[in-house]
Every structure is written in C-alpha cells, then in structure tokens.
Structure 1
Amino acid sequence: MMNVENMPTYDQSEQLAKAEAGVDQLFAQRKDRWYPLEHIASKAGWINDPNGLCYFKGRYHAYFQLHPFGTQWGPMHWGHVSSEDLATWRREPVAMAPSFEAEKDGVFSGSAVISDDGKMVIYYTGHRWRNGVNEDEGNLQEQCMAVSEDGIHFEKKGVVVPCPDDRIPHFRDPKVWKQGDTWTMVFGVCTPEHRGEIWMYTSPDMVNWTFVGPVYKHPDPKVFMLECPDMFPLGDEWVICYSAMGLSPEGFEARNHNNAGYVIGSWEPGQPFKQETEFHLWDDGHNFYAPQTCEAADGRRLMFGWMSPFTQPIPMDEDGWCGQFTVPREVTLAGDHLRTLPIREFDQLDEDKQDFGAIELGVNESRDLVADAQTADIEMEIDLAHSQAERIGLEIHRTSNGDHTLVCYDDQLERVVLDRHANTYGDRGYRTAPLDKSEGKLKLRIIVDRGSVEVYVNDALEVISSYSFPAEGPRAIRLVAESGEGKAIVSSLSIAKLRTIWETPDR
C-alpha cells in the first residue's frame, strides 16, 4: 500500500531550482577538452546510471543519476534529456530531487512505464543512510512511485514497496513492465546473508504490490549485490541482466571494479528464471556499467549504458563534469549471446566521409590518416587470413607528444585489444575482446568522441568501451602495423566526422 507519511519534507520545486543552479554554477567553469559531442552527458556535474528510458508522447526520454553540486558521486537527483529521433537530443530540466523522508539522501535509479490511462509512471529507489551520514551502517532503501503528464514534471506518490527486512543492506533499482494484465517489478537485493539476488513483485493496479519471490539468485557467494537489474523478452528467449558487485576477475573477464552482463534463458510468470547460457559481459571495455533497456516505438530493444569512471584518477572531474552514456545500442539475439550494434539512427550524424579503400603496410610501417579528429566514425576490415603482422590497428587520439590509444588486432592473443598504455591522463591498462577467426577477416567499427572510444567487433558481437583522454593539441588517427613476418592488409577503411547530438549547443 502506498505510504505518504512525512511527505513532503522539502518543497520539490525549490529543490529542483537549487539543482538547476548547481548545474549552472559548474557549467560556468566547464572545460570542453574531453566533453562529449556524441554521447549523452549532463551539461555539468556528475552522472551515473541511465534511468527511466521510454518512448512517451512522441519523444524518447532518457533520465540519469545526477549530482548537480559536484563532479564526484553525491546526493542523487534525476537529470533528463529527450529526443524525437534518437539522433539529436534536447536538454530538459532536472526531473527529480530529494524531497521527502524516504528519499532524503537520494532519488536512486529506476525505470519508466506508460500507464493504461496514458501517463508516465516512474518507479525508483528512495535512499537514506542508516546513520544519516554514510554507508558505514548500511542503507535504508524503498521503492517509490511518481507520475507525470508530460515527462518533465512529476508528482511523487511516495513508497509503494517498503523494504521487508531491516537486515537487508541493499534493496534498489526497480525495473517495471506489463506482462499480460499484470504489472511486474524486479529489483536488486543483497540478502541478510549477503548474497546477490533479483526479487520480483507483481501488481494489478501499479500501486499495490505483492512479493512473488526471488526470480534469480547469483551462484557465486562472493557476489553480494545485483545492481540495476533488467528483464525482457527477446525472440523466444528471456534475458536477465545485472551489474554484479563482488565478481572476481578471471583471465580477460570481469577486470573492472564491478561488471555488467547478462544471462539468457526461459521464464514463465510465477516461476524462477531458468538460466540457459553462461554469464556474458555486455561490454569488454574499461568503462561500462549499469545498462538499462527499453522498447523503441518500432519494437526494437534499445540499450543505454553508463561509461563508469570507477578507477582513479578521473581527469574530467576537474573540468566541471564527470560521466557519460555509451552510444545507444540495438539489442538482438546472436546464438547464446547478444549483439549490440549502435542504433541505426546514429548513422545520420556522419558527415565528410573519407574512403581510404584497401591499404597494405609493410613490417613496422605506419600511415597518418587524419591530422585532427575531435570525433570520428571509423569502419575498417582487416584481412586476417593473409596478414602477417603481429598487431594491426589504429592509434587514436594521437598527439604530438606521442600519447595515443591503440585499437588493434593482436595475433598472439588472437583478440581485439584497446590499449591505453601511452596515455598521460587517466587510468591506463588494456582490455580485450574475443573473436571468431574462422572467416579470415575482422570487421571493426570505432566511434571516437573527445574523451572516449567505443569499438564494435564483427558487427557488435563484442564491444569495448573505454575513456581516452588525449593530451593537448591536434588529435591524429594513424594506421599502424607492428612486427611479424610480412605485410598487414586492410581490405577497406573509411573515416567520417560526426556532427553533435545536441539540438542546441551549450555555448
């Protein structure tokens, strides 16, 4: 039953006005050296998880966790952008700010659905610290509800799913959809035994929710929380995705602080999910977390991820902003895992395309392709069957001091590699993605922004998303071949510039 006790603690409109002022104050000092032109980000301030993705009254809405008063994680608000076509985006006012007791320390992540009477309904986690200061004594988290007629202004309805056990330290991130005549909610839980689970509730009216049970339990006892869960049908299968806290690295896998992935299986209402595949990472890069999906107007399944700056140092937090989304991706089945291509609408941003055709490089030869690229949409195919170089690829964000990020095929690893060892700014290290060499070729699509690189391998069977913070000066793109017994063969290569996604430039 809905709980409106102690509502409101603060005037919502005053809190939103303060948040807008906070963003504007940070924006006044914002540096744009790495600020994205092709990726959703707040005008200023810290952002994390995508929230409330939906299509409503002719526009796509993307909300996000926002700290409007600083460039590191802090009291969570909901920022907001919207788009008519998924290619060009408009900045909208801050959507939600903490205003009553259950959410006084943050309006945490959640999702949006459209009610039967045509309203947008948001479900999100109201957050409080048990000790009133920090997480040392755990969280008090409950699932809340808000309603909007326009997607811009929200009327909060209070708590609809209170935490059922005071010993539960994490209880958050509701994802809601309608299954037949029943509304279904899943969210992540850390049980009193500190095991990561996904719980399910159902409702006939969107307000009164009944506990069904755990729909998924992580088998690894070290995984203590499954953040930002999502659950959706795809073809004849069901997909459960989550961001696993406590997952240990193994080989090339799960190298990040926390790691987001999915499992595919079957599900019937009222029953636990039956897992039929191994856990697979959504993205093999340094910086990917907390994805959320939604259904497009034409029925496609879309996914937005957060490029998470977990590892210190985080250079852009000195620039008045911190954090961005990935390029939105279309999700389709590909056997026992998912393919996640950039949305087709992203192609509308390409301009001034250069076609370099086929290129052959000798041993340790390199070739400059573009003298200065703030943004780029690169498509290339490497002839693996006839190349003999040990590494073939592109140095991206190459500056005059030698800084660059290398994207290449590594013949010793037999994997695609994104290597940041030559970067002055930010975390270094490399990440890799597996590939099937049986066809003797490798297709890469690489989307370059001012401070990031996304690599789509063989039509996005794998993806590597990482921040890349170039040094001062022009940012070149160079084709390189390293070592080996003979030439490197690139069958085709094209590079396009990209116009910005922003409907109205900030400056």
Structure 2
Amino acid sequence: MTETETRATVALDTHFPAVHLRPPAHWINDPNGLVFHDGHYHVYFQHNPHSARHADMHWGHFRSPDLIHWELLPVALAPTPGGDDEGGVWSGNAVSHDGRLTAFYSAKRDDRRHQPITSATSYDGGTTFTKRGSLLIPEAADGTTMFRDPYVWRDGDSWRMLVGAALADGRAAALQYASADLDDWSYEGIFLARPPHPLRDGRNTEEGWECAQYAAFPDGTGAVLASAWDPQEGASCAIYWTGREQHGEFQAAATPQLLDHGPDFYAPALLHAPDGRWLMWAWIWEARDEERVGAPSVWTDEAGWAGMLSLPRELTPGPDGELVQRPARELLSLRGERRIAAAGRASAEQPVDLGEVSRATDLTVTLERGGRLRLLTSRDGTEYLDIVHHLVSGELVVDRAHASLDSRAKGGSWRFPAEGPDMTLRILLDHSVAEIFTAAGRTLTLRSYPVGDGPWRVQMGATGVGSAAYTVGAWDLTPPGQGVGRDADS
C-alpha cells in the first residue's frame, strides 16, 4: 500500500485507539525519553515510520503542556547510514539540563552483538537533535551477554545511569554508571542482579532485563523496574523490586512482583514530573496472529499499524511493599457524557443489561464475590469480554476467550490477586485495549479485537447459584479535539 492508502485504511479501523498515544500509522513500541522540558511533557517512542513491522527504529515524538492535549511532532532521531546507529536508534531516555535536552539511546548495528550507548542533544525544545558523533559507552561491561537501554537521572551534583543486561553467570542485571557532566561515564558495577525467579502467574523474571529504570521515593524507599527478556522467546513481562539503595547498590525485597498482571504490557518508562509525581508509560503490544512479540504478522501488515502507549499512570509506594498505580489524575478531564449510573444485584439466571457504552469508555465498577461484568460487543451476545470476581478464590479473572469473533485474535484469561469481599475497579476501554486498575493499585492490561456488528453493552451477572451486588458508572472517554494521534504528520 502507498502511504496515503495505509493511512486511509487505518483511519477506518475500529480497533485504532482514540485516547492512547500512537502515530497515525505503522509500528510503535517502547516509550523513550520521557522528560519535562521547556514547559512541556515530552514522550518519545520507538517507531518505524515506514511500515507496521518491528524494524528500522527511529524516535517518534509527542509533547503536551498538560498530559491531555498532545501534539505529534516530526521524527526526532533517525539512524545514520554507515554510522554507529545505522541498525536503529533504540531505547533510552532523556534529561533536561542547562536549557538543553539530551537523549541517551542504544545504538544498534547488525555487526555488533551489544548495543553500546550514545547521546544526542537538542537546543530547540526537543524537536531536532545533534548526535554526539561518537559512542558514549562503546563497550559493554565485562561478563555481559546482553547490554542495552540507558536510563539517566540526576543525583545531587552528579548524574547516574542504569543499563539493562544479562550476565554470563545466568543472572539478569541493571548495571550502573556515573558522570559529572553527562559526557564522561565510569562503570560503577552492578546496581541489582538476580537469577530467574518465578512469578505468580507462571512467568518469571528471566535471564535478561531491558529498560531498567529507577524511582526514588520521598520516604527513602525506591523501586527498580525492568522488562524481563527471554533469550529464546524475547519480550515477556514487566517486573519490579522495591527496597532501598545502600552504598551504591539496591537492596531489594526478596520477592519480585509483576508490574502489570496482563499479557500485553511491556517496557515501562518513568518521568519525574515537576510536581514530584512519578509518571509512567509503557508499550502495549498487539495480540493478533504473530508467533511472538515483534514477529511478522499478516493481520498487522493488513492493518497498517501496530502497538500503542499506555495511558499515563501515577506510581507511588504502597504500605505493603508493592507499588500502587493509578491513572494520572488529569485523565478525569477526558470524561464526557455519563452513560450508566446503576446499582443492584444480578444472578446467572437473571443478568441485568445496563445499556450501551462508547468504544472509548471510563468505567467504575464494584463487584461482590461471584459477580460478573460482561462487555457484549455483538448483537447476538456471542462476542464478549468477561470480568469475574471469582466466588471461591476471590481473584479477579479477566477472560478474553470470546472477546473476538476473528479466530486470529489471541485468547486466554488473566488474574488479579484477591483484595477482599468486594473488588472495586476502574476500567479504561479504548477500542481494542483495556487498562484495569484495582482499589489496591494493581493493574491488568490486555488487548482484544471486537468485530461484532452491535453496539457495545454492559451486562451484569453472577457465577454460581446465588446473586451478587454491583455498582457501575460509565462515561465516554472524549479526546480533546478530533482523534489523538490521527491528525499530525510523523
């Protein structure tokens, strides 16, 4: 397809998001260079501006004064033919300092095993960058089998950097570097390293970490975030450890945690906002017919686009050692018409239809044990997404086995840990994605691809022989202007 034909196809795609950030077409993955600079929040991201495949990595660029009104700017960084990054400008971050913006990224070449670190500087508010011209950290640390994705932050009068790695001894690691001037960096050793550790849903923390990030909280605690990478299967899941930094190393709690309990969330990246909040975005990938993440997909080629960024989340330390995630408070301003305000009881024999909702909807739900919310997306009721508060275990089960009548869409069910006799949720639906937040601050993100011909409807029911109480509110999610990400050139 020509570029014009691709954009025309994407514009008609009912799965394309309304409020999640992504360019008008083609591939997007990791958020990069999240920074507040020159009066704007800047969100850069991995982007192939030429196709919907995972290749030819550039840095795309959004900016916003308020986290609501986003402007898509021209591509900020592109590979240099014959240069150190000719194979792609891969993931990293950015810092604002002395009126300039400096981006740090992984420089990829096909003739190198590792991805060394380099930088580029912008003096025009982050729109155009001048590359350093030579590698910043040309060689990976000794004993590494994987090395990529710098994360730089200010620590007093100096600068620090984490780089994701896999070690030859089988451990995954976040390696640390230090600098006084953002230009000369010294290796300071391992910040955190762990062998693969099982997680509650059958996944594990893997042998390599990508996109290692660090948040230091006001109470003296901190969290290391990473993306678990399997040497054979590739990208797996987002994980974290809480703990404290002592003597230049991170003393982590014994048990790692899933950052998101769903199947389609990866590469989280942090932004320390001017008001002190830790904000986080991540890559939400597709769940179409690809064999594994990043593999070619016939469906994706037909669609002309792949991936999106999560909505911004606020990250805070919780009382029990877990991280608490909430939708950024600014997102409340996206609420439009209220479609549902209801409370009652429902049973398996007598489900209750609450009415129609938009394909972009902000839902608040409280479910008693045994309760079920069903999002019906076909007129005959054969296509639906189920969210069930399990009667026996108390877990929240999100089941997409029937969420698409297209047989190419991935299925499966995913679970939250139990949180009490009632589960209170906020669910942000956007055409082909659901971001689900619990009252305790846990999250579950997953993709589904409804193709039914009916309006979307909310139905409350129950499992087992009894009935279950519910409370539901639903508002349209209304992007400012007409279609975030559709009306700007990349």
Do both share a fold (TM > 0.5)? yes
Is 1:339 aligned with 2:320? no
Match of 2:474 in 1: 495
Alignment CA distance shift 1:291-1:333 (3 Å): same
Normalising to structure 2: TM-score of the pair? 0.88
Q: Deviation string for 1:150-178 (max 9, x for gaps)? A: 11111111311112468744211000001
Q: Equivalent residue of 1:92, what SS?
A: strand
Q: Contact 1:102–1:141 at 8 Å: present in 2 too?
A: no
- State the distance in 2 between where 1:166 and 1:29 align: 48
Matched residues in 2 for 1:187 and 1:161: separation? 11
Q: Which amino acid aligns with 1:406?
A: D
The 8 Å contact of residues 261 and 443 in structure 2, kept in 1 or not, is answered as yes
Aligned to 2:209: 226
Question: Which whole-Å deviations, capped at 9, do the CAs of 1:427-455 have from their partners, x for residues lacking one?
Answer: 00111111221xx3221111111111111
Matched, 1:329 2:309: no
* Larger deviation, residues 308-317 vs 196-205: 308-317
- How far is 1:316 from its partner? 4.6
Q: CA deviation at 1:318?
A: 2.2
Q: Count residues with an aligned counterpart.
A: 463
Distance 2:289 2:252 in 1: 35
- Sort the Cα spacing of 1:298 and 1:380 in 2 relative to 1 into closer, same or farther, 3 A: same
Cα displacement (A) at 1:371: 3.0
Residue among 422, 426, 430 paired with 2:413:
430
The residue number in structure 2 matching 1:80 is 61
Mapped contact 2:208–2:231 kept (Cα < 8 A) = no
CA change 1:495–1:166 in 2 (3 A) is same
Query: What pairs with 1:2-17 in structure 2 (closer than 5 Å)?
Result: none
Cα deviation for residue 213 of structure 1 reads: 0.4
Whether 2:245 is the aligned partner of 1:263: answer no
Distance 1:349 1:161, change over 3 A: same
Q: CA deviation at 1:72?
A: 1.9
Using the TM superposition, give the Cα deviation of residue 271 of structure 1 relative to its aligned residue in structure 2, in angstroms. 2.3
2:226 to 216, 225, 242: 242
User: Partner residue of 1:419?
Assistant: 399
Measured after TM superposition, the shift of residue 482 of structure 1 is 3.4
In the alignment, structure 1 residue 474 sits paired with structure 2 residue 459:
no
Per-residue CA deviations over 1:311-357 (Å, capped at 9, x if unaligned) read 63464542111001111100011121011100000000001113423
Are 1:399 and 1:470, in contact at CA under 8 Å, matched by a contact in 2?
no
- After superposition, the Cα gap between the structure-2 partners of 1:372 and 1:239, relative to the gap in structure 1 and judged at 3 Å, is closer
Aligned to 2:382: 402
Separation in structure 1 between the aligned mates of residue 267 and residue 119 of structure 2, nearest angstrom: 21
- Give the counterpart letter for 2:108 in structure 1: H
- SS of the counterpart of 1:40? coil
TM-score normalized with structure 1 length: 0.86
Q: Cα distance, 1:286 vs. partner?
A: 1.5
Is 1:105–2:83 an aligned residue pair? no
1:220–1:167 CA distance, 2 compared to 1 (3 A): closer
Identical-residue share of aligned pairs (%): 27
Aligned to 2:202: none
Amino acid at match of 2:188: V
The aligned amino acid for 1:180 is G
Alpha-carbon distance between aligned partners in 1 of 2:333 and 2:418, rounded to the nearest angstrom: 28
2:216 match: secondary structure: strand
Match for 1:370: what amino acid? G
Query: Offset of 1:373 from its aligned partner?
Result: 2.0
What are the ranges of 5 or more consecutive residues in structure 2 without an aligned counterpart? 198-204, 291-296
- Within a 5 Å distance, the mapping from 1:58-77 to structure 2 comes to 58-77=39-58
- 1:23–1:120: structure 2 CA closer, same or farther, 3 Å change rule? farther
1:354 and 2:339 correspond: yes
Q: Per-residue deviation at 1:395? A: 2.1
- Tell me if the contact between 1:45 and 1:71 (Cα under 8 Å) persists in the aligned partners: yes
Partner of 2:38: 57
Shift of the 231–24 alpha-carbon distance from structure 1 to 2, 3 Å rule, reads farther
8 Å CA contact 1:435, 1:457 repeated in 2: no
SS at match of 1:258: strand
Aligned to 2:201: none
Structure 1 position 494, deviation (Å): 0.8
**Partner SS state of residue 249, structure 2:** coil
Shift in alpha-carbon separation, 1:26–1:363, aligned structure 2, 3 A? closer
Aligned to 1:259, the other structure's residue is in SS state: strand
CA contact (8 A) 1:398 1:405 kept: no
Are the aligned partners of 1:291 and 1:304 in contact in 2 as well (CA < 8 Å)?
A: yes
Task: Say which of 184, 196, 208 aligns to 2:160.
Answer: 184
Q: Secondary structure at the match of 1:318?
A: helix
How far the C-alpha of 1:238 sits from its partner, in A, is: 1.4
**1:502–1:76 distance in 2 versus 1, CA, 3 Å:** farther
Partner of 2:259: 282
Matched, 1:366 2:351: yes
In 2, the alpha carbon distance for the partners of 1:482 and 1:257 equals 36
CA distance in 1, matches of 2:33, 2:264: 21
Q: Deviations over 1:28-47 (max 9, x none)?
A: 43242111001111211111
- C-alpha contact 2:347 2:463 (8 A) present in aligned 1: no
Equivalent position amino acid for 2:341 in 1: F
Shift in Å, 1:53: 0.4
Equivalent of 2:444 in 460, 464, 478: 464
Q: CA RMSD in A?
A: 2.5
Provide the secondary structure at the position in 2 that maps to 1:345. helix
Map of 2:122 onto structure 1: 148
Unmatched 5+ residue regions in structure 1? 1-20, 131-137, 249-254, 385-389
Distance in 1 between residues matched to 2:300 and 2:18, nearest whole Å: 14
Which has the higher mean CA deviation after the structures are superposed, 475-484 or 161-170? 161-170
Alpha-carbon distance in 1 for matches of 2:334, 2:147: 40
